[in-house]
Amino acid sequence: MPSSTTPSPQPQTPQIPLTCSGHTRPVVQLAFSGFISGSNSNYMLISACKDGKPILRNGPTGDWLGTFVGHKGAVWSAMLNAATTRAVTASADYTAKVWNAITGQELVTLAHKHIVKTADFAAGDNGDDDEGNAVVTGGQDKAVRLFDVARPDAPTVVATHDAPLRNVKWSAHRRLVLSAADDRCINAIDVRAPPAAAVVASLAAPAPIANISLTGDGRLLSCAAGNRVVVWDTDALGVVKDFAVDYEVSVAAINPQRSRIVAGAKSDLLIRVIDYDSGALVDTHKGHHGPVHDACFNPDGHVYATGSEDGTVRLWQTNPGTVYGLWQPRAL
């Protein structure tokens, strides 16, 4: 049985987030890159928005670096490859696009016959995750497709669901694609196997899935489903945590230290911080003027980003009040 989190009244630690403007409609997905090669402090943040213009930002500061211009519909998903040299976006205009993340140039359009809700980079034929030459997509047509960027007109359908897709995520740790759909099912897909044998496991969510998230190392998969937060170990593909909460969860993201879960709700503006071990509610934060649609942690886990219906991205400290990055002691 799932354990319960601490009920209201809710603790609240004052915190002033960094607000990242630039979008004009709801922000629906966020993704931090890993640390860029040769640095232990430099990383990027990409955001997908219904305004159709995904934005790349400096991760530590949230400063705008560039906007990817070319989609003709809402952009539902935006991800960076492991080397942070390419971006992939998925859109309501029936396409996914691959971009040069340094110059902003569109490299290739991956055509579909329906709305594309989600996309991520996967390992190519040589097993290299860094290059961004393979892309996995999912959308309203219920199919999970694998594209070779060099041959965009010849995708392979590697799996199908019984309902439209919500998310696809590449777990470099397990070399698997994890796909979540409105059929309450999460499939673990080996894209190297023949399509008939590609689905190696199916995980059942307890309620309709709002969102799935992977930890940076790909070892833990978290799922927001109804009023439950469920966590699977991607090695054993077994449930390791199952928390019941008193709100409908929109996203649940785990920090790299495995100590905190950041959760958003569909029905209010709060960000909730949950203790990973016990499921107890540790803190809540206010700042957004609309429900939170997505959240993710930066590579070292000291900062997390949230994207909201209010059209903003906000950066928060995992441990409010500590000295980190732009959060410095105030002069008296």
Tokens of 122: 């996967």
What is the band of 129 on the pLDDT scale with cuts at 50, 70, 90?
A: low
pLDDT tens string 198-239: 999 999 999 999 999 999 999 999 999 999 999 999 999 999
Evaluate the CA torsion angle 198, 203, 207, 213 in order and state its sign. Answer: negative
Q: What long-range pairs does 225-234 form, CB within 8 A, spacing at least 24?
A: 225/184, 225/249, 228/2, 229/261, 229/263, 229/274, 229/279, 230/205, 230/206, 232/186, 232/203, 234/171, 234/173, 234/174, 234/176, 234/178, 234/188
pLDDT at 195: 86
Tokens of 256: 């790299």
User: What span, in angstroms and rounded, lies between the C-alpha atoms of 132 and 130?
Assistant: 6
Q: How many CB atoms lie under 10 A from the CB of residue 196? A: 7
Of 89-98, 169-178, 294-303, least confident by mean pLDDT is 169-178
pLDDT at 251: 98
The whole-chain average pLDDT of the chain stands at: 93
pLDDT at 134 over 90: yes
pLDDT at 166 over 50: yes
Q: What's the pTM value of the predicted model, to 2 decimals?
A: 0.93
User: What span, in angstroms and rounded, lies between the C-alpha atoms of 90 and 148?
Assistant: 16
Q: Which residue shows structure tokens 């601490």?
A: 6
More confident residue, 5 or 112: 112
Q: Which amino acid is at 162?
A: D
Q: What's the count of helices (H) and strands (E) in the chain, helices before strands?
A: 0, 29
Tokens of 198: 């590609």
pLDDT at 131 over 80: no
